[in-house]
């Protein structure tokens, strides 16, 4: 997978990796300090914690994408595998959170006055949509990262590309010969 790109300083690559890691971890620390102490058996705590957590999803995903992009660019298959596995596990975890949060929304809705029940339901649907979209981004990102890392480890293909195959699509597309 050799690409003809300049070789950047290891300091710069390390700094971008560190920044990506900060983007992943920092929002999780912020969320944890907001919702601790954990009371997972209390549905009102879960409703609040999972409702807040949906708003913290985008930044860690952005950090993970940054980590994966640099790992691909620098041909670090081990990091692609670790980050890809993390994305897959996170996607599965979000699926479980969606089920539990949906049940908590329904229970919370039943406890509220009639005039605010629709607001509780609308807020719950919005948070569920955030979870769903995040899971739909993380799953293929994780699977794609894992398979890309496998291809990197396999090395260059043993079959050499036919130079005519690269030129032929242009000839056919333009309708004229370049000879």
pLDDT tens digit sequence for 52-107: 999 999 999 999 999 999 999 999 999 999 999 999 999 999 999 999 999 999 99
pLDDT at 5: 58
Whether residue 145 lies inside any domain: the answer is: yes
SS3 136: helix
Which whole number is the average pLDDT over 36-50? 92
Give the model's confidence band at 2: pLDDT under 50 very low, under 70 low, under 90 confident, else very high: low
Q: Domain of 156?
A: 10-174
Asked if the model's pLDDT at residue 127 lies above 60, the reply is yes
- Residue 179 domain flag: no
Average pLDDT over all residues of the chain? 85
Q: Count Cβ atoms below 10 Å from residue 167 Cβ, excluding itself.
A: 11
Contact 55, 31 (CB under 8 A): no
Cβ atoms of 155 and 96 within 8 Å: the answer is: no
Please state the pTM of the whole predicted model. Answer: 0.77
Question: Is 46 within a domain?
Answer: yes
Alpha carbon distances (Å) from 63 to 20, 98, 175: 4, 22, 45
Domain annotation covers residue 83: yes
Closest CA to 145 of 107, 91, 101, 106: 91
Does 5 fall in a domain? no
Cα 155 from Cα 157, distance rounded (Å): 6
C-alpha–C-alpha distance, residues 86 and 84, integer Å: 5
Smallest Cα–Cα separation from 64: which of 85, 93, 33?
85
pLDDT interval class at 152 (50, 70, 90): confident
The answer as to whether 4 is a domain residue is no
Mean pLDDT of 44-51: 93
Check pLDDT > 70 for residue 166: no
Give a yes or no: residue 1 inside a domain: no
CA distances from 113 to 34, 42, 125 (A): 27, 20, 18
Residue 2 lies in a domain: no
Higher pLDDT, 159 or 98: 98
- Based on the structure, what is the number of domains in the chain? 1
Tokens of 89: 């596990």
Q: If you average pLDDT over residues 20-49, what whole number do you get?
A: 94
């Amino acid at each position: 997978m050799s690409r003809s790109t300049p070789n950047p300083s290891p300091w710069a690559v390390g700094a971008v990796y560190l920044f990506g890691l900060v983007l992943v971890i920092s929002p999780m620390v912020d969320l944890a300090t907001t919702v601790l102490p954990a009371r997972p058996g209390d549905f009102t705590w879960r409703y609040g914690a999972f409702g807040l957590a949906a708003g913290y999803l985008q930044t860690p995903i952005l950090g993970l994408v940054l980590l994966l992009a640099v790992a691909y660019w620098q041909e670090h298959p081990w990091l692609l595998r670790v980050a890809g596995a993390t994305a897959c596990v996170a996607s599965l975890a979000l699926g479980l959170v969606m089920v539990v949060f949906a049940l908590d929304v329904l229970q919370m809705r039943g406890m509220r006055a009639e005039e605010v029940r629709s607001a509780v339901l609308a807020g719950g649907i919005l948070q569920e949509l955030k979870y769903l979209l995040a899971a739909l981004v993380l799953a293929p990102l994780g699977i794609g990262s894992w398979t890309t890392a496998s291809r990197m480890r396999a090395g260059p293909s043993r079959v050499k590309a036919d130079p005519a195959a690269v030129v032929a699509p242009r000839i056919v597309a333009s309708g004229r010969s370049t000879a």
